Structure 1
Amino acid sequence: MPKKKGKSSRKAIIGIILVVVVAVAIIGWHDGLVGVTPIESINNFSVDNGTAVTIKGEITIIFGDLVTVADATGGLGFLWSDSGSLSVGQIVVVRGVVSSPITLTDVTSVAPVWLIA
């Protein structure tokens, strides 16, 4: 008696759906759709110094290792030793520690946005 093809195609569809959901979740996390602190909250003293944050914004100035990032609500600066790999106008997700209302320290990553600006 021949096998029915319905079960294998259902498994393939479920597998494809799972891969797509995981890919969207990874891209969403990387591109700063989840867990991003608005720069305005840092500028307005709503976030305490020493707090680890993730911000998303557009690079406005690169001067040596000093990089400034701004979004629609405000801006701040940080030092990044690999600033040569960045460009003005690029949208990035930055992870670091708030040191003042206008600066981050201990920046661990500056990742260009993949898809979702």
Structure 2
Amino acid sequence: MELDVRKKRLVYRSKQRGWLEVDLLLGTWANENVQRLNSDELDQYEAFVNLETIDIYNVITLRTGVPENMKRDGGKGVVEQIQEWARNSPLGKANPEVYADVKIKNNLI
């Protein structure tokens, strides 16, 4: 599959999980970061996106750790990057106005 098509597909899948919190967190991260990922990182990200939505939510919100098969040396894997981003993101705080702005900015509505 062509790399650009794969990236677009992953961004779309990240925005359309069917669970608002995951759509906002994962969709926003994907919109901001997927285009810079290399092939290995895309493989990592695709494996993460293939998890169940509840598992993605629990990992992003630090309720569970990064699955062992997705950890990378030095804690610099894609999933760790997503956790770090979510930890510092204003989306980690419940705020309807911020959510509404993010949904519009990232074409989530």
- TM superposition score normalised by structure 1: 0.21
Specify which structure has the higher proportion of strand. 1
Report which of the two structures shows the higher radius of gyration computed on alpha carbons.
1
